[in-house]
């Protein structure tokens, strides 16, 4: 089974504090959860936006867990975004 991902997709957040560049948050995401407005969301629709306090947790394939309390979050899909094959083995 081939996996595909949406190249160019961006997750933009404001708030923090943010981890440094050596935090290990690289590679494939395996799961995530956004807690916003009393709900836990594990999937976001394209062009999603939230304004107000929220808690974001992302788990990477290398075992690193990223957590941040944010003030806003947006899932950005640029006009030239396209689905591409995953290079994962």
In-domain check, residue 23: no
What is residue 86's predicted lDDT score, i.e. its pLDDT? Answer: 74
Residue 22 belongs to a domain:
no
Does 50 fall in a domain? yes
**pTM score of the predicted model:** 0.78
Has residue 64 been placed in a domain?
yes
For residue 26, give every residue at least 6 positions away whose Cβ sits within 8 Å of its Cβ, in sequence order, or none: 60, 62, 64
pLDDT, one tens digit per residue, over 20-78 is 667 888 888 899 999 998 899 998 888 899 998 999 999 999 999 999 899 999 999 88
Domain containing residue 60: 4-16+29-85
Domain-embedded: residue 40: yes
Instruction: Report pLDDT for 2.
Output: 62
Total number of domains constituting the chain: 1
Residue 35 lies in a domain: yes
**Has residue 68 been placed in a domain?**
yes
């Amino acid at each position: 089974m081939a996996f595909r991902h949406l190249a160019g997709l961006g997750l933009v957040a404001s708030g923090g504090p943010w981890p440094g560049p050596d935090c290990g948050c690289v590679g494939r995401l395996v799961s995530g959860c956004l807690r916003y407005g009393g709900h836990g969301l594990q999937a976001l629709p394209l062009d999603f936006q939230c304004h107000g306090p929220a808690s974001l947790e992302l788990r990477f394939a290398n075992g690193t867990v990223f957590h941040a309390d944010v003030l806003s979050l947006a899932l950005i899909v640029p006009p030239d975004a396209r689905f591409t094959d995953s290079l994962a083995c």
